[in-house]
Amino acid sequence: MAPMTRSFSPHNVPSDQVVEYYRRRAAGGLGLIITEGTTINHIAAHGYPNVPNFHGEQALEAWRKVANAVHAEGGKIAPQLWHVGAARRPGTEPGGQTPGFSPSGMFMPGKITGHAMTKDDIDEVVQAYAQAAKDAQQAGFDAIEIHAAHGYLIDQFFWAGTNQREDEYGGDMAARGRFAQEIVSAIRAAVGPDFAIILRWSQWKQQAYDARLVETPEALAEFIQPLADAGVDIFHCSTRRFWQPEFESSNLNLAGWVKKLTGKATITVGSVGLSDEFLPESANAGFKEASPVNFDELVERMENNEFDLVALGRSVIANPDWPKLVQAGKFDQLKPYEKRYLESLV
């Protein structure tokens, strides 16, 4: 299950309804659940209301219940650890009027709207990620995922458009990746060698769907290998359409290229089993409705070892038991995704 923001955690604490939401999907046959984005313990981490914390006694106890419920159904679970960076809207609680933090104070290229992080800020955020990962391990989770995609904080460091720093965290791709490498290294030191670290990243940004961090396989290798060396076990390669080749030289998608270059396990994602991509051309219009379609190409790519895992989003909002239905060949029972499903947790 792919991470999907649901915003059903009043006071930033997962409710019993959230516990049941994840339990039901584990019961439906999902092998690994990656939770919605959960915010680390930093004053500027939050960007949206009713998003759950991954810190504080109440929130951690609630997440322990989620992990236990998923395990009782035979599933595995990882929290997605999140800092929104410059996407923060001042006034969001917790944090109040704290501005968005980012490498250069920019959410959009060329427009400073928030706080450019100091070295002390960077160190504080790195340690907050490490503490959240350690808390996840102690709460019984099976892995953690670092949200480094879609134009949020870590991706704002990756992207030259929002990273105009002139210190060791800005400049070429290696320098822009330093912040993420430090986070991964700090997490690895906190959790030891045998706890899985997943990193989700993307070429596209919510600020610019056509943005690209790398244009060639060679540039991708330069970007991704230091993250693998720092301790990432699995790369979750976020694309809007899993079937699209990443580079002209091959039919491999982004997850396929990352696996080929690093030898690490990868997760593919992007409109799996659905008739339309998950976002329209305007980000304000919300997730697109879509009907089930066959996924013969997905199976073929999987059998060719292009990637190791497949993440489902809208499909398992509409169909909590999607894996069991597909395994049984009951394709006619798969329901289309409709926007109304976002109005409640079912």
Handedness of CA 331, 333, 334, 336 (dihedral sign): positive
Q: Which of 22, 152, 169, 337 is catalytic?
A: 152
**Residue matched to tokens 């002209």:** 248
The set of residues, in sequence order, having a beta carbon less than 8 Å from that of 316 and lying 6+ positions away, is 1, 25, 28, 30, 322
For residue 333, the tally of other CB atoms under 10 A from its CB is 13
- The CA angle 172-174-176, to the nearest 5 degrees, is 70
What is the gyration radius of the CA atoms in the chain, in angstroms? 19
**Known catalytic residue: 129?**
no
Q: What is the DSSP letter of 332?
A: G
**Residue matched to tokens 């460091």:** 157
Maximum alpha-carbon separation in the chain: 56
Are the beta carbons of 333 and 325 closer than 8 angstroms?
yes
d(CA 107, CA 102): 8
Are the beta carbons of 192 and 185 closer than 8 angstroms?
no
First vs last Cα of the chain: how many Å apart?
A: 15
Burial class from Cβ neighbours inside 10 Å (0-12, 13-18, 19+) for residue 156 reads buried
Are the beta carbons of 107 and 145 closer than 8 angstroms?
no
Q: Provide the H-helix boundaries in the chain.
A: 16-27, 57-72, 119-138, 153-158, 173-176, 178-191, 217-230, 254-262, 296-303, 314-318, 322-327
Among 48, 14, 4, residue whose Cα is nearest residue 337: 4
Which of the residues are catalytic? 152
